[in-house]
Structure 1
Amino acid sequence: MKKFSILVLAVFMSIVLAACSMESGGGSSSESDSSSKDDEVVIGFSVSTLNNPFFVSLSDAAEEKAKSEEAKITVVDAQDDASKQASDIEDLIQQKVDLIMINPVDSSAIASAVESANSAGIPVITVDRSSEGGEVVSHIASDNKAGGEMAGEYLLSQVDKGAKIAVLEGVAGSSAAIDRGEGFEKAVEGQVDIVASLTANFDRSEGLTVMENILQANPDVKAVFAQNDEMALGALEAIQAEGKDIVVVGFDATDDAVAKVDAGEMAATVAQQPGLIGETAVKTAVAYLNGDEPQDFIPVDLELVTKK
């Protein structure tokens, strides 16, 4: 009887030990899977518009860089609508992404969305255009004021002093439009007569229409500075339709604009590097989430593109 009791106890202990071993092994696997999932960096990226080649290049480069950094990135298109962008960012906050990169439609309007992310404990990086409010980890962009000055100085070399010129402005309230405009005006102040400075919202078709109106009111315009290439290409179409020879300087160095420069139809464009901006933004985001402290502003180099 005693031997039987000992045997029963041995069998019972074997079963308990086996169960504990299985539970321990299963638990480790589950914890490993969970840890792997928790360690994945998830970035939300709100882009002002994907109806512009510049931002398509920027977004594509960001997605490629995210792959190489083994991070997940969700890109949302605000379609140049500040209200939609605010709603998109709220969705990203609800998804509890690790960090949000924002390319604002409107630098002033985006402030409340940045503050919402701050309140949720989600860090923010601004890309190409800045935010006028909220806390931002870093801002990655070209020096738009310097680019505006570069465009202005080149334009002065192409026209006589006192010449009548026009400016096509970008989206009102965007930091890119503000900074490029300030830089340009600083360079040309007192040297030319700006007879028109009107917004065309960084859009090619609007650039065409606005330039048509400018030419009707000011047929003796000698040059135009467009704050991006899409507007410059629209303006060029209006100019060519009128058979006029007017100096056109753009900004961004998109493929279409560079081709027009090489063909001698556009005078110049200021080259940004959208791909490098996108890559740098993702690299900075991942580094920050891994404990690094980035610079407040990370500039990306510019250059003037003229006919080769």
Structure 2
Amino acid sequence: MPRPTPRLLAALSATVALALSLAACGGSSKKEAVAPATASGPDLSGITLTLGDQANGLQTLLTAAGTLKGTPYKVKWAEFQGAAPLFQAMQSGQVDTGTAADLPTLQAISGGLKIKLVAAATADGSGTAILARPGSPVKTVQDLKGKDVVVSSAKGSIAEYLLAKVLTDAGLKYSDVHVQYLLPTAAQAAFNAGKIQTWATFGIYQDIAVQKGATIVVDGRDGRTSGVGFLSAAQSSIADPARKAAIADFLKRLSAAYAWTATHADQYAQVFARKNGVPADVAGIVVSQGSRVLKPVTPDITAKVQGVSDLMHRIGSLPTDVQVAGTVDTSLYPHSLAN
């Protein structure tokens, strides 16, 4: 199998499986049209919208769907290896909006980052898993007791939530395992070299490891993760009327890209494989594990993610128990746009 390119490995991250770009899709090459901003709105010609991305996910999706063509504002992409550096860039005003799974987003909010949750997407959770090396004695969650488990990419990642949830469900304590944190590229190298035996990870890292013989101890399906990924925006960006209008327009274009993927599966997987330098079969798995539609952040979604916040605060991973409903701004992507 061809090795992932350095460019890919520098861009991949935690919330890939739940990242808003991943979708199961198939069909012809016709692109979805997106209406331009209305003439009565603010002038967006002087706006450069900086989009924070992980795993080349959003950029690959929007390139494949072509829905960013003709924006009345300029677009700049900022790629990050994980959610933590993405949110650091948002904190410093370098990024307007970005995508991440639920727990990394909660971690950023708990740490004081001033952002709002403006849209969401859900997946089945299969893109997050705890892996064991071939031949490992670890076969079940109970077998993890007393073991070292490497979590990617940092404290507060979606992989850490999966670990905490399955331990709790199995009647074990989080302290029953020895947790270490490694960025995905470092963890991948160590796992491949046999230096670590058990790895909680996600997305393309998970899929490549499985292709090389790793076994899935447990994944995030069946409620073991929320399956929710968020598009968040800096409050400072929302406070600027023109920038807010640009973000709202971008969300409509992102929604149209999801709609495009619903009938263009093969084409999207081909673009993903080509852009990220991975085999077609791996690309097909990655996109099949992702979200299919952009949604407003509804009370049902916030209630589901509140459970994530409660558990992770209880085990000490979140400094504060984030009240998720209070972090939402539905004015950029209201319910009517999702219909």
TM-score bracket for the superposition, by shorter chain length: 0.3 to 0.5
Q: If the length of structure 2 is used for normalisation, what is the TM-score?
A: 0.39
Q: If the length of structure 1 is used for normalisation, what is the TM-score?
A: 0.41
- Structure with greater Cα Rg: 1
